[in-house]
Structures are given as structure tokens and as C-alpha cells.
Amino acid sequence: MATLPITKRGAEALKAELHRLKTIERPAVINAISEARAQGDLSENAEYDAAKDKQAFVEGRIQELEGKLSAAQVIDPAALDAGGRVVFGATVELEDENSGDKVTYQIVGEDEADIKLGRLNINSPIARALISKEEGDVAEFQAPGGLRRYEVVSVNYI
């Protein structure tokens, strides 16, 4: 499996979710299954079926997280020195050339991306257009509404 870039914050979030699944969710599901078994006939026991479905989901998610963490390349944006260029983990302030609106985004991995929090997926068109740009450069990318142009106002590694 190829390495997956992830920020330090993103890796910590995945580890926390994995810990919660293993220490809280898994024991709760096992308990629910044993309680449902105690009710007798399993062929018509909806609680048992629901608990088994939940167990399958929890175990699948645990495997998924363990796989992602084993393939993760953890990058600490604060430790980067990219000479002012936009790289994975960088926080970039942009100005829309048409409207003059300013926005700030951090370029992160797929699991961390959340546009409402200003976190762009490294594989998104805007992030791909920004990679290797420096302050003053203009990034162009094709958005659903047409061609967009953003000027890079600042690049920070925080």
C-alpha cells in the first residue's frame, strides 16, 4: 500500500478514534450481543441482528483505521521548511482575483479534509493548483462554476 500523507493533528484524531472503538465501542457491542443471546431464540431476535451488524461495522472501521495508520506518512507542518512554497500541510491565504475575497486553507490529507474548517484535500483541484506556488503567484483551476484564479497572499507552516 502506498503511503498516505497526513498531518500530525489528523494522525492524532485517527488514533483517538481507534482507541475509542477498541476500548468503548467493541466491549459495548460484545455486551449487547451477549444480552441478546440471553433472550433465547436468535432466529427472530432483532436486538441480536442489530448488535451483530454494529459489531461488523466496528470491526471494519478498526481494520480501516489500522490500515490507514500503518500506511500514514505523518507530516508536522510546524517542522516544514519549504522556502515559502505551498506544500502538504501548509496554510495558505488566498485572494480571489474576481471578487477580492480572502480565504485561508490548510492543505491536508483525505481523511482530514473539511472545507468548513478551511482544510483542503490534497487531491482537490484547488490544492493541486496551489502546490509549489509562492507568495504573489496566481493559481488557476477549473471549478464547477468555471475557471477560478486565486493569488497566493501568504504561506505559513503552522
Report the pLDDT value the prediction gives residue 98, as an integer from 0 to 100.
87
What's residue 145's pLDDT? 86
Tell me the per-residue pLDDT of 125-154, one tens digit each, with 9 for 90 and over.
Answer: 999 999 999 999 999 999 888 899 999 999
What are the residue ranges spanned by the domains of the chain?
A: 4-74, 77-156
CATH class of the domain defined by 4-74: mainly alpha
Overall CATH class of domain 77-156: alpha beta
Burial 74-87 (b: 16+ CB within 10 A, else e): bbebeebeeeebbb
Q: What is the pLDDT of residues 34-66, one digit of tens each?
A: 988 888 777 778 888 899 999 999 999 999 999
pLDDT at 1: 56
- pLDDT tens string 61-80: 999 999 999 999 999 988 88
